[in-house]
């Protein structure tokens, strides 16, 4: 393993925290939040020391790292960066313990949205921005990590070729740096565009920033205890639901639309997803809850599929299990949404159907085309999809068992375990808005921290890393 290269990239990641520290320092000075300055100064100094030290050690190392190095870097980042992000919580005036601080920052960086802060409306503005910044950076890092791992020749996932977008998708393996830059600018300008949209519909600028960071990253942190406090009109709800499409669809789709390079051939996954969303909206609105506001139905469905979970939805009809199923499905492979991912669901369903069909009619030729395109479903794709599914099921049972030890009901334990493994906030959509994470015992919090991280990086990646560490090839 190339440890120096791993440290080099960890150092660069740590310096991103320094950048956000500077922004919060400037914000605190400009708006006279002097009590917050020390915490961000400590964060700035700590992240600069760690980041520059790691960068210095690995500056002369080879940057052409292997898949094992990539996964090691990703795993360590999801533990280290939240640790740096936890510093302002710990040194704030709100007496947040070290474990609770780390819990809050892990929840942010993994774009989960669980919070130990019981009265968010009482938190000062710099810390609200800090919470939102952690999930924005986490969403960006997850996208870039996805490019690195899915685009690896050692993984060889065919859907990556199909969904990576236009001409660049044909050279996906050889153009990581180009795709890296492209993703960053798409992510950044999408955020700016969403902030602009929120400003147009009379959302307060600070709230617009926080909501934009939340929606783009598919996070769950909102700058208030109840979203209805800042999202009041039908237009605001509808616009918010539309912006939640950003974390659902493949980010290369956004690029191709902007650059007028859109091709049905390379974005069939997104077309399938769009068809699914439209069908579900019409079904729920006309046949299940016709008395609900149309905008709220759209919001609930897009929020679930994006694995954000934020909502203004309220209905007498309990659809919590239905919305949980949508969070399990998730969005595109190359998106900020978590969950099982739509393409993997598609692969498993199609292969299962065709295998059953073959048992009935053995002479039939099995169609292994992905989305009826020229791309074929490789056996490797099926294996990975199956392994991810099995690891998800096992994790649900393990985490549910742990949660029941903390006096949670079986239903709440089951729901919370799924929401944790899909990195989705526990909101009213799932009947979990009354749960207090602050009151959970330390062992439960540590378990949630671990599973939030494992689910974001996907347990199969960790298993692969352990396998390669033990059984060296």
* Segment 406-436, tens digit of pLDDT: 989 999 999 999 999 999 999 989 988 888 9
Backbone phi and psi for residue 312, each to the nearest 5 degrees, phi listed first: -115, 10
Give me the helices (H) in 244-293, please.
251-258, 268-283
The angle subtended at Cα 134 by Cα 31 and Cα 87, nearest 5°, is: 75
Token duo for residue 463: 């298993």
* Segment among 64-73, 317-326, 391-400 with least mean pLDDT: 64-73
More confident residue, 359 or 472: 359
- pLDDT tens digit string along 280-311? 999 999 989 888 889 999 999 999 999 999 98
Task: Give CA separation, 24 vs 17, 44, 473, in Å.
Answer: 11, 10, 46
Measured between alpha carbons, how far is 250 from 335 in angstroms, rounded to an integer? 5
Report how far residue 130's alpha carbon sits from residue 93's, in angstroms, rounded to the nearest whole number. 15
Q: Which residue has the tokens 């920052």?
A: 105
DSSP secondary structure string for all residues of 96-141: --HHHHHHHHHHHHTT------S-GGGS-HHHHHHHHHHHHHHHHH
By the 8 A CB rule, do 452 and 106 touch? yes
Q: Is the pLDDT of residue 199 over 60?
A: yes
Residues 8, 13, 15: CA angle, nearest 5 degrees: 95
pLDDT level of residue 1 (50, 70, 90 thresholds): confident
**Residues whose CB is less than 8 angstroms from the CB of residue 150 and which lie 6 or more positions away in sequence, other chains included:** 157, 160, 333, 334
Task: State pLDDT tens for residues 93-144.
Answer: 899 999 999 999 999 999 999 999 988 988 999 999 999 999 999 999 998 8
For the ranges 150-154, 194-198, 248-252, the one whose mean pLDDT is highest: 194-198
Q: How many CA atoms lie within 13 A of 103 on its CB side?
A: 22
pTM: 0.91
Indicate the domain borders of the chain: 1-95, 378-470
Give dist(CA 320, CA 427) in Å, integer: 10
* Cα–Cα distance, 190 to 83 (Å, whole number): 27
For 376, list phi and psi in degrees, rounded to 5.
-100, 150
Place of tokens 């956004």: 254
> CA torsion sign, 346 to 150 to 305 to 272?
negative
DSSP state of 366: P
């Amino acid at each position: 393993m190339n440890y120096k290269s791993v440290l080099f990239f960890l150092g660069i990641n740590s310096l991103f925290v320094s950048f956000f520290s500077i922004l919060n320092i400037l914000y605190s000075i400009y708006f006279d939040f002097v009590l917050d300055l020390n915490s961000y100064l400590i964060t700035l100094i700590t992240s600069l020391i760690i980041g520059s030290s790691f960068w210095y050690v690995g500056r002369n190392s080879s940057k052409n790292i292997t898949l094992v190095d990539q996964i090691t870097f990703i795993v360590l980042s999801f533990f280290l960066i939240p640790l740096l992000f936890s510093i302002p919580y710990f040194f704030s005036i709100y007496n947040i313990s070290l474990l609770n601080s780390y819990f809050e920052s892990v929840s942010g960086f993994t774009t989960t949205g669980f919070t130990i802060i019981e009265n968010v409306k009482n938190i000062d503005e710099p810390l609200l921005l800090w919470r939102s910044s952690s999930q924005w950076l986490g969403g960006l890092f997850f996208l870039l990590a996805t490019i690195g791992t899915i685009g690896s020749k050692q993984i060889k996932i065919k859907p990556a070729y199909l969904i990576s977008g236009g001409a660049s998708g044909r050279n996906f393996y050889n153009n990581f740096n180009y795709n890296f830059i492209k993703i960053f600018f798409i992510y950044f300008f999408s955020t700016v565009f969403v902030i602009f949209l929120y400003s147009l519909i009379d959302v307060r600028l600070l709230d617009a920033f926080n909501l934009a960071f939340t929606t783009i990253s598919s996070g769950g942190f909102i700058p208030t205890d109840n979203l209805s406090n800042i999202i009041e009109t039908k237009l605001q709800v509808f616009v918010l639901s539309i912006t939640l499409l950003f974390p659902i669809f493949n980010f290369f789709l956004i690029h191709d639309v902007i650059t007028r390079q859109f091709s049905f051939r390379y974005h069939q996954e997104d077309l399938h997803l769009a068809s699914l969303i439209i069908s579900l909206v019409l079904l729920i609105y006309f046949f299940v809850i016709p008395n609900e506001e149309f905008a709220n139905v759209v919001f609930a469905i897009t929020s679930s599929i994006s694995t954000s979970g934020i909502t203004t939805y309220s209905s007498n009809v309990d659809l919590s299990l239905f919305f949980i199923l949508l969070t399990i499905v998730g969005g595109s492979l190359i998106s900020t949404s978590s969950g099982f991912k739509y393409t993997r669901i598609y692969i498993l369903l199609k292969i299962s159907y065709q295998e059953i069909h073959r048992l009935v009619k053995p002479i039939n030729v099995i169609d292994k085309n992905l989305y009826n395109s020229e791309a074929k479903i490789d056996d490797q794709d099926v294996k990975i999809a199956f392994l991810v599914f099995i690891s998800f099921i096992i994790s649900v049972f393990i985490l549910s068992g742990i949660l029941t030890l903390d006096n949670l009901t079986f239903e709440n334990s089951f729901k919370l375990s799924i929401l944790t493994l899909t990195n989705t906030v526990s909101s009213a959509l799932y009947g979990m808005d009354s749960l207090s994470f602050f009151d959970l015992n330390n062992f439960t919090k540590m378990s949630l921290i671990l599973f939030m991280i494992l689910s974001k990086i996907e347990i199969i990646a960790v298993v692969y890393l352990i396998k390669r560490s033990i059984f060296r090839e």
